[in-house]
Structure 1
Amino acid sequence: MTRRVRLEWLLVSVLLLVLFSPNAFGELIFSQPKSVYNFGDEFNFTLNLVGEREVSDFLSVALVCGEEEREIYRAPLTLAKDEQRQIEVETRIDEFIVGQEGDCYLRASYDGQEANSQRFRITREVSVFLSLHGATFYPNDKMAVSGEAVKENGEKLDGFVEISIEGMGLNLTREVKDGEFNFSFTIPETAPPGKYVVRANAYEKNAEGKKVNSGSASAGFAVGKVVKRIDIAIHSLSVKPTQSLMFEALAYDQAGQSTREEASLKITDPEGNVVEKKAVLTGTPQEFKIGSNFTSGNWQISLSLGKDLEVKKSFFVEEYEKVEFELLNNTLVVRNVGNVPFTGPLEIRIGNFREVVNIDNLGVGKEIELLLAAPDGDYEVSVSDARRSEKLGTAFLTGKAVSVREKRDSSFGSWLVLFWSAVILVLGVVSIFFLGRVFKGKFVGRMPGLPFSRKRAKEPAQTKSSASEDIIREGKREECGLMVLRIKNENALKESATKEVVESALRRVKDEGAKLYKLGQHHVAVFAPSITRASDNSQTLARAASKLSELLKAHNKTHANKIDFGVGIELGELIVETKEQGKFKFISVDNTLAKLKRIAELSSGEVFLGERIYRRLAGKVKTEKTKHANIWKLAKPIGTEEHEDFIARFKQRQSEK
């Protein structure tokens, strides 16, 4: 027998053994399961058994999911020959019978025989559909959200839905009923602008409160930007002319975040005049050049965006004293290019000669012309003030001596010559008329005297210009004590008695050794070492100012007609000249006097001290810092113990008036 024949007999034998084996009891047949089950679903199936012989054994049914197999039914069963038996199994899909999701099937075994059901899927999935009623929202807008939730098995979900929006900190929970949910919420007022995602997580729970099925969906929307606030960041609140003011316009959205927007900018001077107006982009540095002649004081920057947003910030333009010089032939032009009237000495050098000229209150943008004279020749001309020295070049000058005088209006001089010529002509005609009458009369005795003396009349002194009358030719530089009294309501003080109070108080200052002057609306007292014979006049100055203040305060306590005054004291450099008969001249070397006028203006019935005298008097008198930069005030009157009797008598006299 060949090998092939033997193999065929072997296969036939095995087949006959299987078909006619006494162990095969009959058939195992499963009912048709659903294609998809969600966790929590009822899981019912039927198993039909058909016996071909009598069998007694355990019937076992297992749920197979992947590599995991769990027995869900086991019971003893006796089956008679040709008997049909239907076994119904009722259970629920939960963690007890299945541990994982996926494709599954049932496996039944009985009397060594096995049968498998059709495959089905077990899942926890829920399909969620989300709808937003709008695409772009703004703070405080209401946002409506609706959706549906359906389990994978096709049944509508009854459970809950959680809504969250990242970036807003928003978390809401709502009920899902019959597969539908609806809710609305308000966009927070401070929600940052940008894109957002709404996430909806729908789920249902079992009896133990554990989530068994869930699903999620998301939808996007945007929050628009709303500019809520604008501001101006100024790098320095005080700026000097010729420098630049650096600042930045700022805009902030509803979340307080910086944003770039186009805004309108306006800069006005202290008088309210618009100096610059333009559109700027917020968040970008800006520069505003301060001209040398820009008015000193509080300027304002206004920033506006739309109709409702506006902000204003102030900055201070400091005082800037500067003059320019120009030499035109024999004329020196002094031009004020600063922002305050210029008052101060100018030292003019003509060759090896020096002249000091005091310029008084040269207005902003104004100029003065000074005529230079010197013996015929070419001269190097230079000029200097308290801050700088400048060479102007060479000029050919003529004259008998070196001099500097202010140039007058030539047209006025011509009219003056014509006027005096006419006067002389009229006087000559009148004289001839009277002389003719005299000579025609009878001559008896002696010749009548002439109506006019032959003695030459004294010529009137020449009127000097404001620049030349303060020329100091032999002065010396001294540190002097300066006091300025400002009577702020001087025009309202009509009573002579009140004016006498001021004069009496100033006499007390003069008694301390001061020279008194009236400069416009300011009373100035100068304590010069060459007059007081003291090298340091700081304490004398403070004592005199304190007396003055106390006397004026004493008047104000007893009279309805109050004196509104301010007192300022400081040490400063002066060029002084003392001549015979006590004649005293001075020229301020620096701008102390101008600053002192401002200090007196800031004072209100107090004695204010500048920085220099404050440091000199430190530890000697009691002072307090004021709200103004580098300005202090006397905290306690000086020398009142010595003068209480005088002040009492002064009050008595004032009360009797």
Structure 2
Amino acid sequence: MKMRKRGLLIAFIMLFFMVSLVSADVFLIQQPKDVYNYGDNLEVLLGSDGGEGWVSIDLVCSQGFKTLYFQYLYGETEIPITLPLTSKFLKDLTGECYLSITFEDLVKKSSTFLITNRINVDVKFNRVDFFTNENITFTGVASKANKQPVTGAAKITISQIGLESIVPVENGKFSGYIIFPENTKAGDYNMDVFVYESKSDQITNFDNKTFSLSVLQMPTSLEINSPDNVNPSSEIDISSVLYDQAHDSMDGFSVALNVFDVNNQNIKNILLKTGEQVKLIIPKNAPYGYWNITAESEKIKTNKVFHVKENKEAEFVISNNTLIIRNIGNVPYDKFIKISIGNTTKIQPLNISTASSLLLELSAPDGVYDVEVNDGDVKSNARVALTGNVIDVRSPYEGSGVLGVINKGFFAWIFVFMILGLFIFISIKKVAKRKSVLFFDGSLPKKKEGDKGGVVKLSSSDSIGKSSGGKTRIEHVSSEALPSLVLDGEKQDSSVISLKVKNYEQIKSGKSNAHGAIEEAIKEITSNHGRIYRKEDSIVGIFAPVITKKFDNEVNAVKVAQKISNLLNEHNKRYTQKVDFGIGVNNCNIIASKDKGKLLFTPVNNSISGVRTISELANNDLLLGEAIHKKLGAKVKTSPHSHGGVKTYAVLDVIERKDNDKFIKGFLDRNKEYKDDKPRFKQ
């Protein structure tokens, strides 16, 4: 009986302890999520069966652990726990982690979860290879590792060119565009996209992606390489270089070259690749003067002028009793020659036109003689048998023994002089018809009704010297500018206006007052000392120093262009037939000369066509080119524009200096000591 009671007591005690152990338990009612990003809140629900004791919760990661919760439980059954996962709180605890729960001596683990600061970024571009004048647009999406959209910013960086931009990221989306500088070198560029979230000025989550973009070569200019001065009977190297936006060469592109002589005759057509060289032989008799090379590649045109030097050269042929002198140079052969027959020498001047010959008969008492001809550069000799009474040199066309210099082309020259005489006769008749005189005694002839003469300019004889005998000189003046190959002109920096009438064909076929508006525009140029070159829908006004008598024509050209723009826009406001126009103004180098009031000019380096291009870009207004913009400086207020890689400037205002001059003059009049050249201070 006692043994039975003892057994029951032991069983009761054991049951009591077992019940205590079972009832003293804690557990997680709500497990952690699978993934957490920095800035999230870790929320768990700790459950208990109502037991008492100390409980602690630790965050355990590969880098270490951190105690999140430590509390004495006294009968609580549910304890919510919320912890902010900030970088300051976590102290670099990231990666695979779990919660370790300790209650009295009992330890439990939660399910594992990931703590990270990573963002997943994807970016798409409208293109990955492009020209510098094209915009690159991009769109991107960004989400955190916990699948939540990002709200932050995206920093776009292209370090090779120092480009940086920041765009907002809203609800996981961002977009923007990139413009590369126009002179960016062609090649591959890395674009870094750094997407991030921040809190309290600290970055919480981020990602950085690198994308490769390619800048393509875009042809911008074409250059011809050749000597500036060429000797006849030589071989020159000609090549063309195509440059891209960064002035790097672009080899291997087809280029068409055309060589024109001084008479604008096409001498040679060449097709080759950019970067390649071709040889051109300049013959001995190549026309003397300025030749022109044109080149075109990738829709870009250019030209270069080179100078063929004089070649005064003759060829001497002694055949039996005849001396043949051929001009094989490119200018008249007007040298002295020495003719030696035996011991007798004759020195004689010659003048043989180009591509002509002279025949001379040699005579001497019967015998064999050593004959030598020498002009100092070329020498020819032969041993020939001669007959006659005395040693003599004469033309076979002459009866006397005097040296003849009559050309083989004698009758051809007679024909030329006849034509020239006829031209002079007709010109004199025209001048007489107009009753124009070169000099007169002070009274002008009266103009008859219907007479249509040229404009004349009267110049006092004082201005041209006393040799005119006190008379007044009449100088013909023309408003024309004629493109031609100018051989004896000067290279001048001239201001050029190009007026492009874009609906020219429509205006031409109709009858409207638009014609009058265009003529008024032309009159505005000519009345301000400009010369006009007109070709269908393009009107070019040139302000050259040889005509205007001054070197700074830029402000005048801009003012004239402004007046034309205002005139045509005023016309468009009033009338049905509009004038669709564009005005370009720039400075150009031309070789210029003046002939009877007309401006003769040769453009240098395709400069005139560059002004036409600017006028085509203008839309019922005027645009300035870069060359004239630099020379104007602060005289004109402008705003920069860019049209298809061509730098232009819109005119905002022309600064008038008259008021400033008046103010300065008044100041000097009131303060006369400023006029004094002497120092205004004492030693």
Task: Give the TM-score range, shorter chain.
Answer: 0.5 to 0.7
The answer (yes or no) to whether the contact 1:131–1:219 under 8 Å persists in 2 is no
Match of 2:64 in 1: 68
**Partners of 2:374 and 2:91 in 1: CA distance:** 102
The answer (yes or no) to whether the contact 2:119–2:144 under 8 Å persists in 1 is yes
Tell me the TM-score normalized by structure 2.
0.54
- Closer, same or farther: CA 211–198 of 1 in aligned 2, 3 Å: same
What is the Cα deviation at residue 340 of structure 1? 0.5
Among candidates 354, 359, 370, match of residue 360 of structure 2: 370
Match of 2:38 in 1: 39
The answer to whether 1:203 aligns with 2:196 is yes
What is the Cα deviation at residue 394 of structure 1? 2.3
Per-residue CA shift, 1:532-562, capped at 9, x if unaligned? xxxxxxxxxxxxxxxxxx9993122612358
**Partners of 1:563 and 1:329 in 2: CA distance:** 58
The answer to whether 1:154 aligns with 2:147 is yes
SS in 2 for 1:227: coil
Amino acid at match of 2:150: L
Match of 2:673 in 1: none
The answer (yes or no) to whether the contact 1:127–1:216 under 8 Å persists in 2 is no
What is the Cα deviation at residue 153 of structure 1? 0.9
Bigger CA radius of gyration: 1
- Closer, same or farther: CA 355–42 of 1 in aligned 2, 3 Å: same
Per-residue CA shift, 1:314-372, capped at 9, x if unaligned? 12111110111122222221111111000122112233332223222x01121112222
Match of 1:299 in 2: 291
Among candidates 255, 276, 288, match of residue 246 of structure 2: 255
**Partners of 2:217 and 2:41 in 1: CA distance:** 52
The correspondence of residues 214-613 of structure 1 with structure 2, limited to 5 A, is: 214-235=206-227, 237-260=228-251, 261-307=253-299, 309-360=300-351, 362-385=352-375, 387-408=376-397, 462=400, 464-467=402-405, 553-556=465-468, 558-560=470-472
Amino acid at match of 1:29: F
Match of 1:591 in 2: none
The alignment-based identity, stated in percent, is 24
**Partners of 1:150 and 1:401 in 2: CA distance:** 116
Per-residue CA shift, 1:173-218, capped at 9, x if unaligned? 2222221223345555444444445443222111x02211112344
Per-residue CA shift, 1:427-479, capped at 9, x if unaligned? xxxxxxxxxxxxxxxxxxxxxxxxxxxxxxxxxx94745249xxxxxxxxxxx
- Closer, same or farther: CA 561–40 of 1 in aligned 2, 3 Å: closer
What is the Cα deviation at residue 138 of structure 1? 3.4
- Structure 2 gaps of 5+ residues are 1-13, 407-423, 433-437, 440-461, 477-487, 490-545, 547-590, 592-683
SS in 2 for 1:555: helix
What is the Cα deviation at residue 246 of structure 1? 4.2
- Closer, same or farther: CA 231–398 of 1 in aligned 2, 3 Å: same
What is the Cα deviation at residue 66 of structure 1? 1.6
What is the Cα deviation at residue 37 of structure 1? 0.9
What is the Cα deviation at residue 152 of structure 1? 0.6
**Partners of 2:468 and 2:291 in 1: CA distance:** 36
Match of 1:574 in 2: none
The answer (yes or no) to whether the contact 2:394–2:400 under 8 Å persists in 1 is no
The answer (yes or no) to whether the contact 2:254–2:274 under 8 Å persists in 1 is yes
**Partners of 2:73 and 2:99 in 1: CA distance:** 21
**Partners of 2:311 and 2:378 in 1: CA distance:** 17
SS in 2 for 1:466: coil
- Closer, same or farther: CA 552–107 of 1 in aligned 2, 3 Å: closer
The answer (yes or no) to whether the contact 2:314–2:326 under 8 Å persists in 1 is yes
Match of 1:89 in 2: 81
- Closer, same or farther: CA 379–463 of 1 in aligned 2, 3 Å: closer
What is the Cα deviation at residue 85 of structure 1? 4.3
The answer to whether 1:176 aligns with 2:176 is no
What is the Cα deviation at residue 265 of structure 1? 1.3
SS in 2 for 1:154: coil
The answer (yes or no) to whether the contact 1:43–1:90 under 8 Å persists in 2 is yes
SS in 2 for 1:141: coil
What is the Cα deviation at residue 87 of structure 1? 3.5
Match of 1:129 in 2: 122
What is the Cα deviation at residue 125 of structure 1? 0.8
- Closer, same or farther: CA 122–253 of 1 in aligned 2, 3 Å: same
- Closer, same or farther: CA 92–551 of 1 in aligned 2, 3 Å: closer
**Partners of 1:34 and 1:562 in 2: CA distance:** 104
Tell me the TM-score normalized by structure 1.
0.56
RMSD: 4.1
Match of 1:106 in 2: 99
**Partners of 1:254 and 1:373 in 2: CA distance:** 73
Greater shift after overlay, 221-230 or 37-46? 221-230
SS in 1 for 2:348: strand
The answer (yes or no) to whether the contact 1:25–1:111 under 8 Å persists in 2 is no
Match of 1:528 in 2: none
What is the Cα deviation at residue 143 of structure 1? 3.4
Amino acid at match of 2:467: H
**Partners of 2:475 and 2:133 in 1: CA distance:** 60
What is the Cα deviation at residue 165 of structure 1? 4.0
Amino acid at match of 1:560: T
The answer (yes or no) to whether the contact 2:255–2:296 under 8 Å persists in 1 is yes
Amino acid at match of 1:381: V
Per-residue CA shift, 1:368-417, capped at 9, x if unaligned? 122222333333332211x3252433222233332222233xxxx9xxxx
- Structure 1 gaps of 5+ residues are 1-15, 414-460, 469-488, 500-549, 565-597, 605-626, 628-657
SS in 2 for 1:343: coil
Count of aligned pairs between the two proteins: 418
